[in-house]
Structure 1
Amino acid sequence: MKINVDKWGLAALAVVLAVLPFTASGYVLYIVNLLMIYIVLALGLHLVIGETGQFALSHAAFYGIGIYTAGIINNTWHPNFVVSVLAAGVITAVLGYLLGALAIRMRDIYLALSTFAFGEAMQWVFLNWAEVTNGSNGYQMSPARFFGLELTSDLAAYPFVILGAALMLWLTVRLSRSQLGAAFRAVRESDVAARAMGIDANVVKRVAFMCSAAYAGVAGGLYTTFASFIHPESLGFWTTILILIMIVVGGIGSVRGAVIGAVIFGLISELLRQVLSFQEIIYGLILIGFMMFAPRGLFSGGARARKAALGESAGRAGT
């Protein structure tokens, strides 16, 4: 019954998204495009924190690298936007793997601090490497292209952003159900137990960092299909916190929770643009409240079901 409900929900969502371009204003389409970017970002952070248990705070940095990579490629060579999105994903995947190779030497708060430092360093680069990023003036991006068609509006970019987000969601579900996904969860529960089952925990962690960074890079590439400007201030620590809140409130370790959390807090962040001075306080209170009173989030499922699923995952990882 649960599967049928999920299928009906997905079908209804698909119908709404298909009808939306014919009934909604440009601003609404912009918001939907932005929500799809948040979904991809949340899914990426879900892989490294929710699936693998590595508390990384570098997501906004990889998102920014993806945006600047795709934007620079678009401005310089004007290729099919698929090329720039893939390039953004590949470059961030390589950087994520390298960061993971360094970060896996640390655990818990030390891991969080080291990845936070990387994120802050990258924002400094975005602000000061003026020859490439135009520094604090922000970076203007030319319209993305698709086989000669310029995507000059939110409506033109809408189907590509929707398809991109749907593809990343499908990949996340497939990965979660794969042997690699089982290895992620085994490492999350215990490095020692994972190694006892023949899993190379260090390799698994590096791959998790790589996949998470690639998702952020792809999200950045997709962002350039409907946005024409980016400022380094929007790629700071609070962007990572916003994505973290999405997966915490949705339910750490839950793909569904990451998606729903991204939608809810994507909309909340847009509403809070009217009270920018209170944004950080509100986000902080929400995060603290859920960590104290509902650490499993809204859609993580019961503890017994989680333990059963973890046991099954560990069994598959060892085979």
Structure 2
Amino acid sequence: MNPDRWALLLGAVVLLVLPFTVSGYVLYIANLLMVFVVLSLGLHVVIGEAGQFALSHTAFYGIGIYTAGIINTAWHPPFLVSILAGGVLSAVLGYIIGLLALRMRDIYLALATFAFGEAMQWVFLNWESVTGGSNGMRMQPAELFGYKLTNDLQAYPFVVVIAGLMLWATVALSRSQYGASLRAVRESDVAAMAMGVDVKAMKQSAFAVSAAFAGIAGGMYTLFVSFIHPESLGFQTTILVLTMVVVGGIGSVRGAVAGAIVFGLISELLRQALSIQEIIYGVILMGFMMFKPRGLFADRSQRAPAAASSAQQPAVRRAAQ
């Protein structure tokens, strides 16, 4: 059996057994890891598949949280409605932000999207009538046809199922013609246009899909957490999710999932060291970008071309001489 399928089967068994063997804080961590998996998969779409270096992911995550939380509190619909609303709103804003990708590249795009993320955190902090501002916002329990989710155990099966569906959607996207078009844009805009790919549409749609994933992750978060503060949606979270994708392996679905689980656990271990978390993540991120840019879990199909390219470089230099 394929190693990926063995890993998927093992993960499914662990998730199935977990609620019968643990409780309380451990289930909260499991729920949080599922949220990180969806967040990481969303960033994988825009960075790993489309090659657009965006730093606005946490902003869309926050939009999803506040949208779902406000809708739950005001109208008490089935939580699927509020989660989808957060995903749709994030996707629309992501599509608009995608316009930047048509005019900017590389560091300029990163800075522009980072500025959007910081602007959204300012909105979360200062729009007190909607978000509660610096006092944070307390949310009502999510509901499904009158059934309220009041603890981590009740939310767990729904969080796991949503995360599983988002993983399936990511794999399907990666294997589809759409995914191939995104990767063509990642490699070269000019070459992609020569092959008939609508580069503008691909870039904007990648931002929209990525933002939708982040918005849905935000909605998932409201299923088991009753309070949100804007400080948890700042640059530290952006660096954490970026580290998950880069260290796991840019362009690798398995890398995005593994990175989310590993660094989600590390973030909990470092919870008592908030003042140095960003430094630790930054050092890890720089180290991997310098010495292992393809990450720990890059696809084998990505490693082979890289090895072949490295082997060919000396021969090319000798021929040139």
What's the TM-score, normalizing by structure 1?
0.94
Query: Per the alignment, in what secondary structure is the counterpart of residue 143 of structure 2?
Result: strand
What are the residue-to-residue correspondences of 1:87-166 with 2, within 5 Å?
87-166=85-164
CA contact (8 A) 1:55 1:108 kept: yes
The residue aligned with 1:305 is 304
Q: In structure 2, give the amino acid aligned to 1:272.
A: L
- State the Cα distance separating 1:104 from its structure 2 match: 2.2
Return the offset for 1:301.
Answer: 3.6
The SS at the match of 1:208 is helix
Counterpart of 1:275, as a letter, is A
Query: 1:169 maps to which residue?
Result: 167
| Residues 1:304 and 1:45: Cα distance change in structure 2 (over 3 Å) | closer
CA distance in structure 2 between the partners assigned to 1:245 and 1:272 by the alignment: 15
The more displaced of 10-19 and 30-39 is 10-19
Change over 3 Å in CA distance of 1:306–1:244 after alignment to 2 = farther
Distance across 1 between alignment mates of 2:239 and 2:152? 26
Report the counterpart of residue 229 of structure 1 in structure 2. 227
Aligned partner of 1:47 in structure 2 is 45
Match of 2:267 among 257, 266, 269: 269
- Comparing 272-281 and 52-61, the one that deviates more: 272-281
| Other-structure match for 1:313 | none
Q: State how far apart, in whole Å, the 2-side matches of 1:283 and 1:7 are.
A: 30
Kindly indicate whether the alpha-carbon contact (under 8 Å) linking 1:44 and 1:216 is maintained by their aligned counterparts in 2. Answer: yes
Question: 2:52–2:101: 8 Å Cα contact kept in structure 1?
Answer: no
The CA deviation at 1:44 is 0.2
User: How far apart are the structure 1 equivalents of 2:120 and 2:171?
Assistant: 30
Shift of 1:237: 1.3
Opposite residue 74 of structure 1, the aligned amino acid is N
Contact preservation (8 Å) 2:65, 2:86: yes
Report how far residue 12 of structure 1 moved. 2.0
Moved more, 273-282 or 74-83: 273-282
Please state how far the C-alpha of 1:307 moved relative to its aligned partner. Answer: 6.8
**Residues 19 and 153, structure 2, Cα contact 8 Å, conserved in 1:** yes
The answer as to 2:47 corresponding to 1:31 is no
Do structure 1's residue 69 and structure 2's residue 67 form an aligned pair? Answer: yes
Alignment size in residue pairs? 306
- Partner amino acid for 1:52? A
Query: Residues 150 and 241 from structure 1, CA distance in 2 versus in 1: closer, same or farther, beyond 3 angstroms?
Result: same
How far apart, CA to CA, are the structure 1 residues paired with 2:117 and 2:41? Answer: 18
Q: Deviations over 1:30-54 (max 9, x none)?
A: 0000000000000000000011100
Per the alignment, do residues 16 and 200 of structure 1 end up closer, same or farther by CA in structure 2, a change over 3 Å counting?
same
Q: Is the Cα–Cα contact under 8 Å of residues 23 and 153 in structure 2 kept in the other structure?
A: no
CA distance in structure 2 between the aligned counterparts of 1:183 and 1:301, rounded to whole angstroms: 18
Mapped partners of 1:236, 1:245: distance in 2: 15
Aligned-pair CA distance for 1:276: 1.2
- Any gaps of 5 or more consecutive residues in structure 1? 309-319
**1:196 corresponds to:** 194
CA contact 1:183–1:204 (8 Å) conserved in 2? yes
1:217 aligns with 215
Superimposed CA distance per residue, residues 49-99 of structure 1 (whole angstroms, 9 cap, x where no aligned partner) = 011100000000000000000000000000000000010111100000011
Gaps of 5+ in 2: 308-321
**Deviation of the 1:10 alpha carbon:** 1.6
The CA distance in 2 between the partners of 1:257 and 1:68, in whole Å, is 29
RMSD (Å) for aligned C-alpha atoms = 1.2
Asked if the contact 1:103/1:115 (under 8 Å) is kept, the reply is no
TM-score, structure 2 length as denominator? Answer: 0.93
Query: 2:125 touches 2:133 (CA, 8 Å); kept in 1?
Result: yes
**Residue matched to 1:56:** 54
CA distance in 1 between counterparts of 2:238 and 2:7 reads 29
Task: State whether residues 48 and 56 of structure 1, in contact with CA within 8 Å, keep that contact through their aligned partners in structure 2.
Answer: yes
**What's 1:311 paired with?**
none
> In structure 1, how many angstroms separate the alpha carbons of the residues matched to 2:208 and 2:214?
10
